[in-house]
Amino acid sequence: MGFSSTSALAGILTRKEAESALAEKRAPRLETAVTCLRGHTIRELQSRLIDSTALMVVLIDGPKGKVLGLVTLHDLLRAEGSVAKGDE
């Protein structure tokens, strides 16, 4: 994740973009950060994940709150698999 000088979330740096930027000796381009609030439902998270070009969603504490974590499709699928098996 990239942060501006004011500690605001500036975007997402994907592994693919980081590798390309290093190989081409240029500054990396950040993807737009798709965010989801802590209180949103899993359905809302799923919808935002589908909309994310970086294939990840940044979980935040509030509209201007701190970053709590990052959720990927892999994370979501593992959680859904655990629920389907009855794990917690």
Domain ranges of the chain: 2-85
Tell me the C-alpha to C-alpha distance, in Å, between residue 2 and each of 9, 43, 71: 6, 26, 16
Give the domain 2-85 fold.
CBS-domain (3.10.580)
Report the alpha-carbon distance of residue 67 to residue 58 in Å, rounded: 7
Please check the confidence at residue 2 and state whether its pLDDT lies above 70.
no
What pLDDT is recorded for position 80?
79
Mean pLDDT score, 51-71: 87
Please check the confidence at residue 45 and state whether its pLDDT lies above 60.
yes
Tell me the C-alpha to C-alpha distance, in Å, between residue 25 and each of 22, 51, 71: 5, 29, 29
Average pLDDT for the chain: 85
